[in-house]
Amino acid sequence: MANEEVSFLPLGAIIQSFVVGGVNIVQGFPKQELYVTHNDPYFGETIGRVANRIANAKINSVNGGKEYSLAANNGPNALHGGVKGWGKRVWNGPTPVGLRGIPGLEGELKGGESVEFTLQSEDGDEGYPGEVSVKVVYTTGRVSQGGKEATVLGIEYEAELVAGAEETVINMTNHSYFNLTGGSSIEGTAVQLCTPSYLPVDDGGIPTGGPATFVKVATNEQFTLGAQEPDIDDCFVVDASASPSSVPIDTRGRDLVALVKAHHPESKVHLEVYSTEPAFQYYTGKYIHVPAAEGVPARGARSGFCVEPSRFVNACNVDDWKSQVLLKKGEKYGSRTVYKAWTE
């Protein structure tokens, strides 16, 4: 697309690069083939049908009480859509769709060049019921940020259940790993989340109950990422006082909320992640282990951090949360996320 600072790939509708001040702030590879052979961490992938974990790799009750078995690809649980989730599929695109705005974004967007990726997910894809038509629209541009010019990437998801079942479950996100340092580690990055509330989980990463206060670090105040601590891989809840069942299947009509603000004092790179979603996984990259490949250095633990806007983890199997992810025929699933980055 016209904005050379941001690039995408048909595989997984992947965000391959997001360059700010000469620094590519997302982890990735120079060729699509390397994502096939080396991308165990899901760098840049569009995750679906369901991001994060589903308990015991089963959807317990949809379509009149039917149970659906999924691949157990993360211990006993299903993770990120299965063995070949949407991030491992080749999408149609990128197709230019003209200039678009980003609803809810503060300031006047300059540019707005947009591309669309589409995918047809067949009935039974990785065990999930129903045929789903899905699209991702990426919009790039610039906006004024305190006298500086920030680069903006908007992400809009839309999915429809078109055949094969009356209900299915959807929870999409992007799995970009951010590194604002220009180096091999996120160490020294200052971070602030919008909330202290998270979903406590069992040893397999499945929530054990509703929101509680995160105690490892005061996440809603600025903290600094060290060489190894704090080690975080948790689903944070934007508004713990809101009823989980009040979240619509299409969140695009909701306000964009700044989920995470981060900057690095040496590189002077700033990043803000906004979304209409009720929750987000914040992950400090402990398990990244990618060998060197074709001139790209190895990536190890804490070489990037993730902000994955989403619905609640395992929502499809929790009565009070289920409506967040239950897509019925005739409805549209939707959400919007925005990355905004600039240098001082």
Confidence at residue 19, expressed as pLDDT on a 0 to 100 scale: 97
pLDDT in tens, 4-19: 689 999 999 999 999 9
pLDDT in tens, 22-42: 999 999 999 999 999 999 999
How is residue 16 written in tokens? 């391959």
Please count the other Cβ atoms lying within 10 Å of the Cβ belonging to residue 30.
Answer: 12
Confidence at residue 162, expressed as pLDDT on a 0 to 100 scale: 98
Bridge-partner residues for 275, per DSSP? 257, 337
For the segment 243-264, the average pLDDT, to the nearest whole number, is: 98
Confidence at residue 146, expressed as pLDDT on a 0 to 100 scale: 87
pLDDT band for 271, please (50, 70, 90 cuts): very high
pLDDT band for 2, please (50, 70, 90 cuts): very low
Which three-class secondary structure state does DSSP give residue 315?
helix
Answer yes or no: is pLDDT of 3 > 80.
Answer: no
Q: Report the distance separating Cα 224 and Cα 217, nearest Å.
A: 10
Which pairing describes strands 167-169 and 326-328: parallel, antiparallel, or unpaired? antiparallel
289 a catalytic residue: no
Q: Which of 87, 291, 249 is nearest to 176 (CA)?
A: 87
Answer yes or no: is pLDDT of 183 > 80.
Answer: yes
Percentage of residues of the chain with pLDDT beyond 70: 99
Confidence at residue 114, expressed as pLDDT on a 0 to 100 scale: 98
Q: Report the distance separating Cα 320 and Cα 326, nearest Å.
A: 12
pLDDT band for 1, please (50, 70, 90 cuts): very low
For the segment 133-149, the average pLDDT, to the nearest whole number, is: 95
pLDDT band for 295, please (50, 70, 90 cuts): confident
Q: Is the peptide bond before 94 cis (omega within 30 degrees of 0)?
A: yes
Q: Which residue has the higher pLDDT, 291 or 294?
A: 291
Which three-class secondary structure state does DSSP give residue 227?
coil
How is residue 302 written in tokens? 């804490």
- Mean per-residue pLDDT of the chain: 97
Q: Report DSSP letters for 31-56, one per residue.
A: SHHHHHHH-TT-TTPEE-SB-SEEGG
Rg over CA atoms, the chain: 19
Asked if residue 129 lies in contact with residue 288, where contact means CB atoms within 8 angstroms, the answer is no
Measured in Å, how far apart are the chain's first and last C-alpha atoms? Answer: 26
Q: Report the distance separating Cα 227 and Cα 286, nearest Å.
A: 10
Q: Report the distance separating Cα 271 and Cα 304, nearest Å.
A: 13
Which pairing describes strands 332-343 and 269-275: parallel, antiparallel, or unpaired? antiparallel
Confidence at residue 4, expressed as pLDDT on a 0 to 100 scale: 62
The active-site residue, picked from 38, 80, 175, 270, is 175
Asked if residue 137 lies in contact with residue 266, where contact means CB atoms within 8 angstroms, the answer is no
How far does CA 81 lie from the centroid of its chain?
A: 13
